[in-house]
Structure 1
Amino acid sequence: MARLHTVPRSAIVLGVAGLIPFLGFAALSVSGSDGGLGNIGLSPRTMLSAYGAVIASFLGGIRWGAAAARGTGNGDYFIAIVPSLVAWAAMAFPAPWDLRILGVLVLAWGLIDQDLTRRGLAPSWLAKLRLVLSGVAGAALLVAA
């Protein structure tokens, strides 16, 4: 029972580590510095957008995995592909809309996935952790937009 309520240390460490690119690339984007990425033909904003899209796809994977593990039916599988499709489409939008769409998507998905714990498809600690991580990541995307 404690396992359902206690956040595993690795989930905290890896979750916080996953925020580093959001915060770093957003800070570089806002500051106007490229952090040396220009030397290899990249920009912090491009890296932030790409990372945001990858993480949005990962968020959909959480629901897909929960659906597969519990056999919840087709609805969860359909919902699970939404973040990937929206993130992919967002990459085609011009600045600042790409980051705005990704920011809202990540923030919204932190709320949408709260039903996973209410329905018993994920441990209760995941809901709280997801709110914090999605909040920081989504805010970073929106600030950099």
Structure 2
Amino acid sequence: MMKAEDPWVPFGLGFAGLIPFWGLCLAHGTDITFGESQTASATALATYAATIVSFLGGIRWGLATKADNQRLAARDYAVAVLPQLLGWSALALNDPWRLTVLAVLIIALGITDRDLVHRGMAPAWFGRLRLILALGAGAALLLAAAS
């Protein structure tokens, strides 16, 4: 969980980023359609998730730019582009598969981003935040996929 010394801005913005996940999940699961089909809420949720997956790849890319040894950072650059490609590809799937794949991607990235902390590329609070947000977003996506 969050510690007293953790920076509140990334945590606050990160938690705010969960609002669309849970709002769209609840809209999808309760048939609140705002005049659209239920498919529209699933599409909006999947699209938001895919943009977040792309953002998460960008974090790894940005951290790789700070590496002293750019030859060793080549792996991080390659791994950084995978989320965008996989997230975009997931949008072509039918529900519930697209929501499930995006959930797995987000959770997997939350787990693998902890490696950035262990390698000294990111502070400890980043690993905690990433895991909390990944589990929160992943749970919303999985719940929506099941409904």
User: Is the shorter-chain TM-score for this pair beyond 0.5, marking a shared fold?
Assistant: yes
Matching of residue 130 in structure 1 with residue 141 in structure 2:
no
Which residue of the partner structure matches residue 54 of structure 2?
57
Q: SS of the residue aligned with 1:43?
A: helix
In the TM superposition, what is the alpha-carbon distance from 1:28 to its structure 2 partner? 0.6
Which residue of the partner structure matches residue 38 of structure 1?
36
Distance of 2:17 and 2:35 partners within structure 1? 19
> RMSD across aligned C-alpha pairs, in angstroms?
1.6
Counterpart amino acid of 1:110? G
Which residue of the partner structure matches residue 118 of structure 1?
118
Which residue of the partner structure matches residue 22 of structure 2?
23
Distance of 1:130 and 1:73 partners within structure 2? 21
In the TM superposition, what is the alpha-carbon distance from 1:74 to its structure 2 partner? 0.6
Gaps of 5+ in 1: none
Post-superposition Cα deviations, 1:121-144, rounded to whole Å, max 9, x if no partner, equal 001100001000000001101110
Matching of residue 74 in structure 1 with residue 74 in structure 2:
yes
Distance of 1:29 and 1:92 partners within structure 2? 19
Counterpart amino acid of 1:11? P
Gaps of 5+ in 2: none
Work out the percentage of aligned pairs sharing the same amino acid: 44
Distance of 1:69 and 1:31 partners within structure 2? 45
With structure 2 as the length reference, what TM-score do the two structures score? 0.89
In the TM superposition, what is the alpha-carbon distance from 1:7 to its structure 2 partner? 2.0
